[in-house]
Amino acid sequence: MGELGQKAEEETLITMPLLYGSRRYSRYGNIQNLTYENFTPSQLIKSFLTGIAEELHELYKLMPEAVRLGRVAIAASGNGIRKNPLLVHRIEKLFKVPVRLGEEQEDAAIGAAICAAAGCKIRPNFYI
């Protein structure tokens, strides 16, 4: 998918991938500027990944400045970003800092195990 997205040349599509709506507005997903010429897998992939990154950045901009100040990287997890270098690139471009992924491949399984261990009092808390 990332390879196809990288093949897209000019970015003419604008995609808002808000399938369940937005946290801030009562709007849903849409694709703008769709034409016969740009209705290709590579253009669609690139516009969806750009839309995901832009939505994350919009939410980030709503955070208090004290939280945003001094950031040096974006911590990310999950195969959605791990397996999409183009998404990583889009996020790094918007946030102007590098994306850092965890060393482990199965973030969800590790999170579930930590949650279970904390719930069973095997661990004192959720922090590693």
Q: Where are the domains positioned within the chain? A: 2-119
Tell me the CA distances in angstroms from 14 to 52, 56, 101, 103, 104, one per residue in order: 11, 15, 27, 33, 33
> Helix (H, G, I), strand (E, B), or coil: what is residue 19?
coil
When pLDDT is averaged across residues 38-49 and rounded to a whole number, the result is: 92
Q: Quote the pTM value.
A: 0.72
Fold of 2-119: Nucleotidyltransferase; domain 5 (3.30.420)
Residue 65 has pLDDT above 60, yes or no: yes
pLDDT tens-digit profile of 20-35?
Answer: 666 666 677 888 899 9
Q: Report the pLDDT value the prediction gives residue 6, as an integer from 0 to 100.
A: 55
Q: Report the pLDDT value the prediction gives residue 7, as an integer from 0 to 100.
A: 55
Structure-model confidence comparison of residues 124 and 117, the more confident one: 117
